[in-house]
Structure 1
Amino acid sequence: MSHSATGWVKLAKNSNTKFVACFTLPETKHVVSFAGKLEQPIETCECAQATLTYGDPKDLEGIHEVDHADFGSYLSFALDNSVRINGQLDNRVTSVHTRAKGSWIANDA
């Protein structure tokens, strides 16, 4: 069964490769973040309305490769464990297809 959560994705301040994505899981109200680094730099952008799609909450743990990180008018991340992060960027950027690596951080407070 597939689950989804809403959140946002931003580049870290003063960086064109480091990013953070933050989501609130509807089942538990816990906040999870995925932070990482893109292999190629991109233009400054953010996605205020991103969707996280995952099979099991345990999919949102540990370090993962982002096999496909696509930017343009939309953001699309495909992680190595079938987790997906998608959303329309707030501002269109030059199309970039790259890879990334990141880790999940859970905030149970």
Structure 2
Amino acid sequence: MFRNNGNLTSQLNRKLELWRNVPSSEMNELGQYPIVETLIKTVWGGIIPQTGQLLSGRAADTTLSRTTHKIKVRYDSSILPSDWFVYGGSRYDILYILDPYLNHERLEIFCEVVV
């Protein structure tokens, strides 16, 4: 599915929603601005399941052992580790974000599926 042919556009075949917790613009009855889940934007990306070999032999509950999927998107500095993606009714919590080769071309975002 993902070939190393340098054509990033062909790999970005899914429309993903990027969500974030943000303070509400309306004050509640306690005089506070509650935190609400907000759709930030939609982005094109590719979802790559990680293999069981990546998960085996790691200490329990480490970031790497919790990684279930890798999401590739075009470089976007506004994506935060506290954000999450939604695709097909599944939520993908971001564990960490990698900018391969630091060339600001694409991001590889390692995620954990929340059931």
TM-score by length of 2: 0.28
More helix by share: 2
Question: Larger C-alpha radius of gyration, 1 or 2?
Answer: 2
More strand by share: 1
Q: Structure with the greater relative contact order (CA < 8 A, sep ≥ 6): 1 or 2?
A: 1
TM-score by length of 1: 0.29
